[in-house]
């Protein structure tokens, strides 16, 4: 199959083409020519075609919370909701829960990959091995220590990537080393760790920071904390929730300048409301209200987000003034690299998966392709966000 695209910007690595012909064979890009012959199959009309978004933190979507529906069908519903907003690879994310639910989440992600659910590339276990002092909306009675039994469970071979968020100060360096040696991608989050404690965990193999600045010890001039350690660790990736609620715009700009776009990942931390018109949902017995794209508990605690990746992309362009081709590095390339998937995801190039999203002039999703097949028409005009 060959698709001819024209009349906009097509982001191919560090280049932007005005037109291109993409040849797709068996779901991968077999050829990419910066020209077309004849009328385009996809008329961008001044918009953009960019690599599909890679989201490493997706709690829910389409009315489904992963914690409440730990199943292939649940993952498929979440993926379908986010595909409308350009997400072509994602990790369903389990918020702090019981060991039994952690095991079920790992197995469900394996089963979803085996079943061919579009977009799912693994699972993110966010807690329960976190610090109660920085638990945010996570339930206190779910929090526990990382013990040998859980290390063994998390270290088993899996079909996709396993990302684990821990508070480094509550886990032994030996456990971190064991997990990393078995392919688990360990991140710091919901942590009150000191700079030195985080640096020690980085030395043991920790490579990411979950929603930088949120629910972690802050950067101050004499105590850099977990946030300062994240900014000072050149080999680590940092997730940012760019929803104009979790972070001040200046904080977004500072983080990107400090880390560079190759080590920043846009994430949604999305809740079930994404892709729906719901104004509330239940989270482990708490009613969460959704107003103007922000999810909060009655005491004002932020509870994930109502953010989708197309909106995160658009917000980042607006906040930073960076060109869309630069922001692609944070929405697609960096998260793919973090997951060790650069050979297949994150960029448009021969040999990579034929995953992309078409954005209109306002950077709203018009359509999403996974494996060269259009699986969603986008959410323009079909969501309260528009």
| The token pair that represents 29 in the structure block | 């890009």
List CB contacts of 184: < 8 A, sequence separation 6 or more: 154, 155, 162, 163, 164
Is residue 216 within 8 Å of 239, Cβ to Cβ?
no
**In degrees rounded to 5, what are phi and psi of residue 257?**
-65, -40
CA distance 180 to 177: 5
Q: How far is CA 32 from the centre of its chain?
A: 27
The verdict on whether 43 is a catalytic residue reads no
Is residue 85 within 8 Å of 275, Cβ to Cβ?
yes
Going by C-alpha positions, the residue among 338, 305, 342, 58 that lies closest to residue 187 is: 338
Is residue 75 within 8 Å of 109, Cβ to Cβ?
yes
Is residue 243 within 8 Å of 312, Cβ to Cβ?
yes
CA distance 29 to 22: 7
Going by C-alpha positions, the residue among 223, 275, 265, 218 that lies closest to residue 242 is: 265
Is residue 91 within 8 Å of 59, Cβ to Cβ?
no
| The token pair that represents 114 in the structure block | 């085996």
Q: How many CB atoms lie within 10 A of CB 338?
A: 24
Catalytic-role residue among 69, 243, 269, 306 = 269
Which stretch of DSSP H or E encloses residue 366? strand 365-370
Is residue 291 within 8 Å of 241, Cβ to Cβ?
no
Sign of CA dihedral 382, 332, 8, 375: negative
Is residue 91 within 8 Å of 58, Cβ to Cβ?
yes
CA distance 186 to 206: 5
Q: Mind telling me the catalytic residues?
A: 269
């Amino acid at each position: 199959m060959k698709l001819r695209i024209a009349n906009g910007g097509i982001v191919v690595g560090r280049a932007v083409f005005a037109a291109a012909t993409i040849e797709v064979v068996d779901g991968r890009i077999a050829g990419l020519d910066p020209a077309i012959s004849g009328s385009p199959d996809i008329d961008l009309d001044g918009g953009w075609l960019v690599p599909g978004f890679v989201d490493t933190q997706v709690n829910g979507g389409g009315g489904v919370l992963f914690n409440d529906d730990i199943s292939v069908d649940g993952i498929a519903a979440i993926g379908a909701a986010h595909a409308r907003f350009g997400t072509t690879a994602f990790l369903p994310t389990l918020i702090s829960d019981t060991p039994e639910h952690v095991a079920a989440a790992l197995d469900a992600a394996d089963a979803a990959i085996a079943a061919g659910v579009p977009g799912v590339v693994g699972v993110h276990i966010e807690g329960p091995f976190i610090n109660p002092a920085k638990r945010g909306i996570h339930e206190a009675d779910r929090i526990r220590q990382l013990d040998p039994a859980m290390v063994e469970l998390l270290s088993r071979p899996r079909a996709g990537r396993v990302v684990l968020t821990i508070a480094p100060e509550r886990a032994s360096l030996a456990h971190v080393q064991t997990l990393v040696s078995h392919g688990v991608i360990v991140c710091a989050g919901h942590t009150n760790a000191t700079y030195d404690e985080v640096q020690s965990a980085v030395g043991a193999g920790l490579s990411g920071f979950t929603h930088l600045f949120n629910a972690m010890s802050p950067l101050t001039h004499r105590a850099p904390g977990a946030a300062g350690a994240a900014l000072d660790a050149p080999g680590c990736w940092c997730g940012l929730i760019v929803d104009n609620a979790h972070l001040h715009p200046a904080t977004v700009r500072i983080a990107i300048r400090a880390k560079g776009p190759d080590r920043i990942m846009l994430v949604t931390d999305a809740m079930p409301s994404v892709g729906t018109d719901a104004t509330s949902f239940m989270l482990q017995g708490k009613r969460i209200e959704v107003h103007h794209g922000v999810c909060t508990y009655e005491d004002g605690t932020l509870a994930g987000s109502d953010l989708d990746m197309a909106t995160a992309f658009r917000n980042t362009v607006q906040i930073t003034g960076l060109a869309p081709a630069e922001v692609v590095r944070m929405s697609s390339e960096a998260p793919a690299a973090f997951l060790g998937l650069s050979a297949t995801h994150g960029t448009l190039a021969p040999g990579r998966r034929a995953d992309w999203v078409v954005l209109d002039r306002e950077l709203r999703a018009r359509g999403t392709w996974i494996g060269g097949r259009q699986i969603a028409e986008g959410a323009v005009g079909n969501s309260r966000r528009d």
